[in-house]
Structure 1
């Protein structure tokens, strides 16, 4: 299926969301029809979630409302909230398409657009955050915080509704992701599970990390304080980042150090996480440390 070219730009998406031409939504409907034929037991679910709706916005509102409902915050109430916000916010309409394209292009486990819409909680939590962020900016902060709490409970993803997140974002798996109140995440960023963009204590004001466009943050990485991870940088899994990371650099370790350079296409798009070669070739360590790491290097090289 043709669809959009990888990483379509926001201008394209704005045009699509304002017209009757929407190849992503068309693809989702065709995928849902095909899946309903293959798995008749899911036909009612697929009809209710996709085929009964006239656009991606309303299908998404339905999916999110049913995922986040509880005995005191009913699906019908949530549906009204999501529908009202998404249908009246062109920026969100653009972002939900750029995000779903990011999932389809970058996550090898996401074989179709409909899988992201229906089954991937990284996508669900990100779009729920977008609604909470809009409510926060409208001054409806209690409702935004209530929604944040429910998102955290259901998806194990805790994003403060005041945080600023760009478009074309991949939250791969999502579990354990924490993004603080004054954090800023640029466009086309990929964040793996267990990432923390946090503060360093009880200080107030601007106190959380700023992640540049095209950056890739590996699983379990912790980035603390009002520091910057530059555009096109890669932070290796499990790293603790306490200082600024230059653009197009590879950082690894605890505390993290720059161990190499991310050349060519942004790492968020290639999704290449392995910093092992750069770590052992470029990290300045003592000869004693080199000897102690020798067995590990042999293991990693397969010798």
Structure 2
């Protein structure tokens, strides 16, 4: 007897929770009913909702919402990792941002999360050889969210960018998994040199607001960069650096700085 095929979507706890939260919004704030249905409840999967949001936010008189939706749908259909990363990023924001109380908030309201998901589609385009479309997506992300991530940059999953004003991540930058950064962070170069010229950020790093990490340098796993620092040299793993130019002031203070989100120095710090 042939196996019967089911039309029921695979169990997706993250997406089911988002839909449940959206129904709560409709109940508690009926004026948001249309917004919740259009953006969330109308869609069968989280990938469909992400594609809809991507197209809605980045559409312009130059490229229509329909074209952008087709691009996003193609990206999610051809690269399952994009959806996996989107879920990991959402959980990262929920776990690390005390202002996030529901799963739907990053997808609907937090521009850092939305900018990273849009960048991921631009990165997929870049890797597919569609350089001009990827560059267009980069431009629209910058215009809409104030976040400028080159589509060639490589960024892992479990990323949290809080507030996300004036984020700059250069072409040859690499960001590992489970990294947290605040607003006005730059991962940039140091001049007009070509080639591999941007920072390599290890897993679990916490980068404070306004920090500038410049040049082809390595920031070791589970380290901390204090707010306002200018980092011009390699940072060892599990260290804290601060200052202009930044120098090592001690250990990271905990096994996973990006998750604890602790920006304070202990009493032994020379600063």
Q: 1:55 aligns with which of 32, 45, 55?
A: 45
Match of 2:93 in 1: 103
Take 2:174 and 2:127, find their aligned partners in 1: how far apart are those partners?
15
Per-residue CA deviation, residues 80-136 of structure 1 (Å, 9 max, x unaligned), is 111110122111111011011101111111111101111110001000000000000
Q: Is residue 265 from structure 1 mapped to residue 255 from structure 2 by the alignment?
A: yes
| TM-fit CA distance, 1:140 | 0.1
Contact conserved, 2:238 with 2:255, CA < 8 A, in 1? no
Is residue 2:164 matched to residue 1:180?
Answer: no
User: Higher helix share goes to which structure?
Assistant: 1
CA 1:47–1:243 in 2, change beyond 3 Å: closer, same or farther?
A: same
Q: Which residue of 1 aligns with 2:57?
A: 67
Q: CA deviation at 1:77?
A: 1.3
Number of residue-to-residue matches in the alignment: 263
Q: Which residue of 1 aligns with 2:115?
A: 125
Gapped runs of 5+ residues in structure 2? Answer: 1-8
Alignment of 1:213-228 (within 5 A): 213-228=203-218
Distance in 1 (alpha carbons) for counterparts of 2:23 and 2:199? 43
- Structure whose alpha-carbon radius of gyration is higher: 1
Aligned to 2:183: 193
Report 1:242-261 matches (<5 A).
242-261=232-251
Give the secondary-structure state (helix, strand or coil) at the position aligned to 1:282.
coil
> CA offsets, 1:208-266, max 9 Å, x none?
00001000000000010000111000000000000111100000000101001013331
TM-score by length of 1: 0.85
RMSD: 1.1
- The reply on whether 1:28 has 2:18 as its aligned counterpart is yes
SS of residue in 1 equivalent to 2:247: strand
Q: Is the 8 A contact 1:85 1:134 kept in 2?
A: yes
Query: 1: distance between equivalents of 2:197 and 2:22?
Result: 43
What is the TM-score of this pair, normalised by structure 2? 0.95
Can you list the C-alpha shifts for 1:174-223, whole angstroms capped at 9, x where unaligned? Answer: 11000000000000000110000000101011100000100000000001
Q: Distance in 1 between matches of 2:236 and 2:131?
A: 35
Q: What is the CA–CA distance in structure 1 between the aligned matches of 2:59 and 2:212, rounded to whole Å?
A: 31
| C-alpha deviation, 1:67, in angstroms | 1.1
Aligned to 1:229: 219
SS at match of 1:142: helix
Check if 1:81 corresponds to 2:97: no
Are residue 282 (structure 1) and residue 270 (structure 2) matched?
Answer: yes
1:163 counterpart residue number: 153
5+ long unaligned stretches in structure 1 = 1-18, 284-303
Contact 1:177 1:193 in 2 (8 A): yes
Distance 2:232 2:68 in 1: 39
